[in-house]
């Protein structure tokens, strides 16, 4: 898995950004389903409830929730990530690579929205690298 953590700016705001990328040996539709279908997502992450369509809201059991901001099956999904009073953004892209699918996850948070103590304790994990 390739990992890249950076700090930068977006629209003049200081940002924390973490990017993770991995190639899975399955086809694009199979990888898409594992990451966006509620029954499949709950097998490897957490149970999720809500409306998993663009404009819908969702909630992971005992964890974050948010809104589905963009959905272009099977190429791209973007969601807000709302947790502990803060908001950040998760963007997933799915691209064919060889016989597999490259998934790239980019998680972005405004530094102003991330409590300093949380950053001090978790570093990139505070932006969702787990």
Q: Structural domain boundaries of the chain?
A: 2-127
Tens of pLDDT along the chain (130 residues) come to 454 444 444 555 677 788 889 999 999 999 999 998 999 988 988 999 999 999 999 999 988 899 999 999 999 999 999 887 778 899 999 999 999 999 999 988 877 766 667 666 665 555 554 4
Report the C-alpha gap between 80 and 59 in whole angstroms.
11
Give the per-residue pLDDT at 75: 96
Q: How far is C-alpha 31 from the chain's CA centre? A: 14
The token duo for 111 is 């530094």
pLDDT at 108: 86
Q: How far apart are CA 110 and CA 11, in angstroms?
A: 11
Separation CA 108–CA 123 (nearest Å): 13
DSSP the chain: -EEEEEEEEETTEEEEEEEEEEEESS-HHHHHHHHH-HHHHHHHS--EEE--STT-EEEETTS-EEEEEEEETTTEEEEEEEETTEEEEEEEEEEEETTEEEEEEEEEEEGGGS-HHHHHHHGGGGGT--
Kindly report the pTM of this predicted structure. 0.80
Domain 2-127 CATH superfamily? START domain (3.30.530.20)
pLDDT for res 130 = 45
Residue 5: per-residue pLDDT: 46
C-beta neighbour count of 31 within 10 angstroms: 21
């Amino acid at each position: 898995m390739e990992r890249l953590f950076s700090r930068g700016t977006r629209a003049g705001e200081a940002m924390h950004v973490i990017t993770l990328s991995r190639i899975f040996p399955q086809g694009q539709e199979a990888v898409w389903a594992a990451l966006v279908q509620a029954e499949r997502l709950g097998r490897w992450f957490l149970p999720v409830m809500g409306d998993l369509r663009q404009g819908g809201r969702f909630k992971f059991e005992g964890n974050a929730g948010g809104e589905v901001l963009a959905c272009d099956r099977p190429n791209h999904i973007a969601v807000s990530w709302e947790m502990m009073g803060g908001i950040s953004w998760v963007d997933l892209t799915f691209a064919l690579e060889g016989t597999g699918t490259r998934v790239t996850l980019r998680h972005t948070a405004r530094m102003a929205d991330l409590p300093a103590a949380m950053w001090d304790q978790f570093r990139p994990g505070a932006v969702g690298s787990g």
